[in-house]
A = this chain, B = another copy of it.
Amino acid sequence: MKAAAICLSRCPRLPPRGKRRRIDCRSEYRCLFQGSHAGRSKMILRDMTRAECEAALSANCIGHLGCISGNRPYVVPIRYVYQKRVFYSFSLPGRKIDSLRFNPRVCVQVEQLANPEEWKSVLLEGLYRELPDDEKDHGEHMRAWQLLQELGNWWEPGAYKPEGAAHPDPDAPARPVFYRVEIDTLSGRQAAMA
């Protein structure tokens, strides 16, 4: 496991906060990245184990999903549940679902912040797998729904759509799409004070 320490004290070479002056030294900010200053508090950064990544995913329910939408990256906040190594989420139909149906490659980044010096960030990469409410997938569709509705207010914010987009016909409202992510890689970094 790799770890690095870096001084959190204000670098004496930096200009005073808020003070604007011409700085012409190209190496002036280097000291921020050169490691520890003796006798000062340090932040330790290390790679997380897979078990630690899974624990962080389980302990949280909000993440940021990235997908490819018409050859462009697209990021949206999502609510999710991670339980027994399965990642479930949902969305109303729209750009995200259209994109994921066309290109199922997906990543989800989840962070857990205690304070600016103590945090975890987990990155999950995998494939979108839709769970339609059909004969084959009904059981898992309902399992996803049950887990997600336990979050409380679980249909926000991804489920909302401006009027007209989501409710073109009040008698045929848009139905949420449930999905899981089949995980290819799981990685994470954790920062803590030394």
Which residues of A approach B to under 8 Å, CB–CB? 2-6, 8, 14-15, 17-18, 20, 22-23, 26, 29-30, 32-35, 43, 45-47, 64-68, 71-77, 92, 105-109, 111, 116-117, 119, 121, 123, 125, 133, 142, 145-146, 149-150, 152-153, 155-157, 159-167, 170, 173-176, 189, 191
Q: Which of B35, B160, B173 contacts A34 (CB 8 A)?
A: B173
**Residue contact B68 to A75, C-beta cutoff 8 Å:** no
Known interface pairs A2-B163, A133-B26; A33-B174 also in contact (CB < 8 Å): yes
Known interface pairs A43-B160, A162-B45; A121-B77 also in contact (CB < 8 Å): yes
Cα A133 to Cα B14 with chains together (Å): 17
Q: Which residue of chain B is the closest to A68 with respect to CB atoms? A: B73
Cα A14 to Cα B64 with chains together (Å): 27
A93 to chain B, nearest CB (A): 11
Contacting residues, chain B, for A43 (C-beta < 8 A): 156, 160
Q: Which residue of chain B is the closest to A126 with respect to CB atoms? A: B72
Can you name 10 extra interface pairs (CB under 8 A) apart from A77-B109, A157-B189? Answer: A4-B161, A32-B155, A64-B109, A66-B66, A71-B105, A73-B106, A75-B75, A75-B123, A116-B153, A117-B156
Q: Which residue of chain B is the closest to A33 with respect to CB atoms? A: B173
**Residue contact A73 to B77, C-beta cutoff 8 Å:** no
Query: Can you report 29 residue pairs joining A to B where beta carbons are below 8 Å apart?
Result: A2-B164, A2-B165, A3-B163, A4-B161, A5-B163, A17-B150, A17-B152, A18-B150, A23-B146, A26-B133, A29-B145, A29-B149, A32-B159, A33-B155, A33-B174, A35-B167, A35-B170, A45-B162, A46-B162, A64-B64, A66-B73, A66-B74, A68-B73, A71-B105, A74-B107, A77-B109, A77-B111, A121-B157, A160-B189
